Amino acid sequence: MAGCYNKVTLVGRATAEPTCDIMKTGYPRARFGIAVNDTWKRGKKGVETCFIDCVGMGTNAKLVAQLVHKATYLLVDGRLRFDQWTDAEGRHHARHSITIDHFVLLDRKPADGTPPRQQESPDDLELVEEPP
């Protein structure tokens, strides 16, 4: 095999408001989950929902913080990442997540009836630093 290719594209709804922070390097980061449904009909109709963690960095973090809210319908394009860590109590944890390269808002209008949000220039956005 000549090389590897790590690319993931998902369409679903944000499961919660993004959490935002500033990493030790000073780089902004925004995290949220996305729910993706898979439906099938093999004799019986079925639906399976997969919940995936997504992480936006830098400019993407600023855009996610401003534009993505709980239940936002969006397309996420990025790379699959596997993280492992040990907590303070010595337990080992692991999870897969998507590091966002691009995302597209797919909502036609917000659920509360307000006009759709305009996508702003990343330079016009502010990221509010949250406590750790």
Residue pLDDT, tens place only, 53-94 = 999 999 999 999 999 999 999 999 999 999 999 999 999 999
* Cα–Cα distance for residue pair 83/54, rounded to 1 Å: 12
pTM: 0.76
* Cα–Cα distance for residue pair 126/66, rounded to 1 Å: 8
Output the CA–CA distances (angstroms, integers) from residue 9 to 2, 6, 17, 31, in the order listed.
23, 10, 20, 17
- As its CATH architecture, domain 8-40+47-110 has Beta Barrel (2.40)
φ, ψ at 11 (rounded to 5°): -125, 125
Domain coordinates in residue numbering, the chain: 8-40+47-110
Q: How far apart are the first and last CA of the chain?
A: 43
